[in-house]
Structures are given as C-alpha cells and as structure tokens.
Amino acid sequence: MAGIADFLDSLIGGLDLICFCLAIGGLFWGLLVLRPWQHQAGYNAVLLQKTILLIYKGAFWLAAAQFFKIILKVWLMTAILDRWPFPEFASTTQFIGGIIRTLLTLGLAIYCQRVLAVNSCSKSHWLTAAAVAVPMLVSGAWLVHAAGRFENTYTLMALTVFHQLAAAAWIGGVFQLVNLWLLRQSQQVETTLWPFLLSRFSHFGMVSVVMILVTGLPIALQYIDSWNGLIGTGYGNLLMVKIILMSLALGFAGLNRRAVLAYQASGTYYPMHHRVPYYIEAETFVLVTLLFTAASLASQPPAIDIPSLTATWQEVLNTFAPQIPQITSPSHTALIAGEAGRVAIIGQVPSLAATEWSNYNHNIAGIFLTTMSFFAMLSYIRQLPAPFAFLNPAIPYARYWPLGFVGLGIFLFFRSDAETWPLGPIGFWESTFNNGEVLQHRIATLLVFVLGLFELSARLTKKADSKLPFVFPFLAAFGGLMLLTHSHVGFQAKSAFLIQVGHTTMGVFSLILACGRWLELKLDKPGKEYAGFISVAALFQIGIILMFYREPLY
C-alpha cells in the first residue's frame, strides 16, 4: 500500500494550500475588502454568513489536512522503513509542529463558527479572528522547506510564511469573488455589490501580487544560484511553471481590472456581468493548479544543492527538438527481458527496449492528439476553400474527433506499464496500489477514456442547456495537474528532470486547453472564438511535444 500512501502524501500538500487560502485569504477579504462593520449598502446576512462559512470550512479542512499529513507520514514511514516509526517520530519537528498547527487551526475554525458567525459585523471580532490565526501561521513556519536548511534558516522560514500569506490573500480573495458572483446570480445579494467589491478587491489584489513577488524573489535567489539552475533542474522548472501560471492568472486579473475601470469611467456594465465572472472562473482553474505546483515544488531539492545534476540549456532545448516519431515498438518479450538488468542496483544494464517502448507510447499518443486537434479545427469550419470543396460533405463527421480520446485511452491501457497487468506479470491490484507511478498512469488512462466519452456526448447532444460540455475543461485541467506533478521514479535526477520538463510544458498547455474551452463555452463573441482557437491550438501543441518525445536511456 506504499503507492497509495505516496500518492496521498503528495496530494495533501495541494489540498492544504487550498484550505489555507480559503481560511486566511477569507480573513483578509473580510478585514480589508468586505469590512462588514462599515455597513455598506447591500450587505446582508446571507453575504456575511457565506463569507464566514467559507473561512470556517477552510480552517476546519486545513486542520483535517494537517492531521492527515501526520497519519500519512506514519503510514509512509511504516511502509518504507518496514517498521513502526514511534517513538522516534514523536520527537521530530514535523510531528510536534504538525500537532500544534492542527490544534491551532481547529481553534480558528471553532472561533469563526461559534463567535465570528454571530458577530459578523463587529470589527473587534474580525480582528480577534486574525489574532487567533497568528499562532497558527507562526507554527506553520516550522513545517516548510526552509526549516531543514542550515543557512539563513529563520529568514527563509519567515519569508516563506509571508509569501504564503500574500498568496492566500490573493487566491482566497478570488475564491470569495466566485462566492459573491454565485450569490449575485442566485439573487441573494444586490447587483451593485458585484462591481463595488470587485473594484475594492482589484486594488487589494495588486498589493498582494506585489507582496508575492517581494517575498518570493529572495527565496528564489537563495535556492537557485544560476540561470542553469533555473532552466536545468526540477526546482527551477517548477518555479518557471509557477511564474507562467501566475502570469496567466494576472492576465485574467488584468482583463477584470480593465472592465472595472471601464465601469468606473463610463458605467459600462456589460463586461462586468457577462465576461468578468467567467475570467474569474478561469483564473480559479489557474490558481488551483498553481497551488498544487507550489506543493510539488516543496518536494524538489533546491537547484543550489545539485550543481552536478543540473542539465544545460542545450540539453533542455534538445528535449523539444523535432524528430521523426517512432512508429515501431520493440516486442513485449524484449522489454521484459531487459527489465531485470534495468532495475538492478549492482550491475545495472540500461534497457534500450524500455526506452524505445516509452518513446513509441509517447509518439503514438502525440499522433493521436495532433490528428484530433486537426479534426477539432475542421469541426469549426462550415466550408473548405474551393480546391478542397469536394471534402465538404465530410466536415460534419469532424465533430466526432473526441473519439480519438477513447482510442488513446485503450492504447494507454495496454501500453502504459508493460511490466504489469494486462501485458506483464505483476497483477493489477498489486501494481496499482504498491506503485504511485502506476496508480497515476491508471488514473490518466481512465481520465482520457472518460474524457472522450463525455466530450463526444457533449458535441452530439441536442439539449441547449446540457452540462456535459463543462466536463471537458474540468478533466483537461485535471490532466494538466497530473502532468505538472507527474514524477518518474527509477531515473537519475538529471534524466528524471529531462523527462519532467516535457511533461510540465504539456501540463501548462493542458491548463490552457481547459481554460480556453471553459471560456469558449461561457463567453460571447468574439472572445468565445478566440478562446476556442487557443484551446484547440493548445491541444495541437501537446500533440507536437509528444510526437517528438525521446526518453533518456536508463
């Protein structure tokens, strides 16, 4: 069961950050944006109670996540060390700090539910809630990356906590905006509140972003000491992904800001209600992914510690170099024959068959996706140019392009982990639950298959109000998350990184695919068309990366 424990251990970091943003970001929102004690026109009990409920739920689940982290550590250590980790574990900072943080967070949750909820307009109660949160924030400093460092330990711990605070202020605020929009949609709050609070948050969000940069930059400079470290290590790569995701989120924030300014200048109301909410929804996709990437980053060794395992920028670029896709696979017998030597510790023999098997899988998946993206583009066209007019009768069939996902799912089911069931000798349950990587592959396979079925149904349904089309962006974002956090065990650190860099790039494009499709479904013209084009272009780009994929020999 080590695979599941490993799997859950990585998951819990992202969930922890989401709950942290809900709780702490919600407090910032209440204190600095909402300011209920000012009795702004339009504020009502529903708004205040919903706001506090989000903070309470965030704090409660944060406490649960923190406690579950400790259980997972015990589970993981028992599995890996093959013995019960107590009493040694009880004296570690992780255990003591984790228990303290759990209790302090629980205290915050209880205060919000029992006291703040019944005094929601009292400034002193909001300030007390913030004061109750402070010890929890301080205790969290002993659980971060920096706590194990030898140099500048306390400075780095403090910077990390302030970085998390700034991120929570921004992301938690975006969660509250989504909450506000839903209340507005269900007519539980006045229409005027939406532009009013959006405008207030706009200023607050800008300050938060500046604080994220001010606190994040020194941390980055401490952990990454060269350009090569930024480009050629897993730590640097995930940091770059974070920067890209943050830029994407800021792009949406910029669009929102423009709409707010237009509203303030000329009273232009349309974008505030027909575009901004959907930009915020897409921004939420990006920010949730950003939090999981941040959690993943914390498990990477800092670039400064692994100079001998750092790839050069030429090696990184080479992973994207165009090559002829490999369309023949080594036999399964050849692959299995090389496995014993490949996984041996003493006398390890790299397996060419294993490398070629993997190249074939990735390249064929790339051909699937580029072909699908071609048909997806075709499905948007009503008529082809004159020289190709004879193909016009075939255009209606292009909408069946999601069938390609079903085919890809079946292909991956047989090919992903050849040493396991159905092709290999290791049983289905044994491989799935004892190996986190196999478990991830199984989920990805199911995801691709289900994605195809849902999207096909969505494209064929005649119901105008069908919710089926919204499944695709969710699952595509999910796929992006898997790619961004996917690991490759059994490789040397440098080889693992060179594989990771392609997967993280595809993860970013998957997120663009998801956001593009979401906005295509939600926006009006012309934004809808741009978003749809960007979405399909992202799918095409993922296909291209896969087609040129080459795995290091190991």
Query: For the chain, what is the radius of gyration of the CA atoms?
Result: 25
501 binds other proteins (CB under 8 A): no
CB of 124 to other proteins, least distance (A): 27
Binding test (CB under 8 A) with other proteins, winner from 28, 263, 285, 509: 285
Q: Is 23 in the site for other proteins (CB under 8 A)?
A: no
92 binds other proteins, rule: CB under 8 A: yes
Site pattern 440..479 for other proteins (x: CB under 8 A): x--x--------------------------x---xx-xx-
Beta-ladder partners of 426: 420
**Pick 318 or 348: Cβ nearer other proteins:** 348
Q: What CA–CA distance (Å, rounded) separates 246 from 211?
A: 13
Alpha-carbon gap, residue 284 to 280, rounded angstroms = 6
Establish if 436 lies at the interface with other proteins (CB under 8 A).
Answer: yes
- DSSP, collapsed to helix, strand or coil, labels residue 420 as strand
Among the listed residues 237, 256, 284, 505, the single contact to other proteins using CB under 8 A: 284
| CB contact at 8 A, 402 and 372 | yes
If one asks whether residue 409 binds other proteins (CB under 8 A), the answer comes out as no
Distance CA 111, CA 133 (A): 10
CA distance 126 to 33: 12
Least separation in angstroms between residue 463's CB and other proteins is 18
Residue 298: C-alpha distances to residues 14, 248, 345, 462, 466 (Å): 10, 22, 28, 46, 40
Q: Residue 281 interacts with other proteins (CB under 8 A)?
A: yes
Of residues 51 through 80, those in contact with other proteins by CB under 8 A are 54, 57, 69, 73, 76-77, 80
- Of 144 and 239, the one with the shorter C-beta distance to other proteins is 144
Residue number with CB closer to other proteins (92 or 191): 92
How far apart CA 548 and CA 370 sit, in angstroms, is: 12
Does residue 18 interact with other proteins by CB under 8 A? yes
By CB under 8 A, is residue 7 in contact with other proteins?
A: yes
- In the complex, what is the shortest distance from the CB of residue 483 to other proteins, in angstroms, rounded to a whole number? 9
Can you tell me which of 51, 139, 179, 358 binds other proteins, judged by CB under 8 A? 179
Would you say 391 or 490 has its CB closer to other proteins? 490
For residue 49, what are the CA distances in angstroms to 52, 55, 134, 187, 369?
Answer: 5, 10, 22, 15, 46
Both tokens assigned to 94:
């992780």
Backbone CA torsion sign across 182, 185, 186, 189: positive
Residues 195-254, interacting with other proteins (CB under 8 A): none
**SS3 call for 430:** helix
Q: Which of residues 307-366 bind other proteins (CB under 8 A)?
A: 344-347
Closest CB 267 distance from other proteins, rounded Å: 28
Q: Is 523 helix (H, G, I), strand (E, B) or coil?
A: coil
Question: What minimum distance in Å lies between the beta carbon of 481 and other proteins?
Answer: 4
Q: Which residues contact 65 (CB under 8 A, 6 or more apart)?
A: 12, 15, 16, 19
Nearer to other proteins, 487 or 541 (CB): 487
| The binder of other proteins chosen from 125, 145, 257, 503 (CB under 8 A) | 145
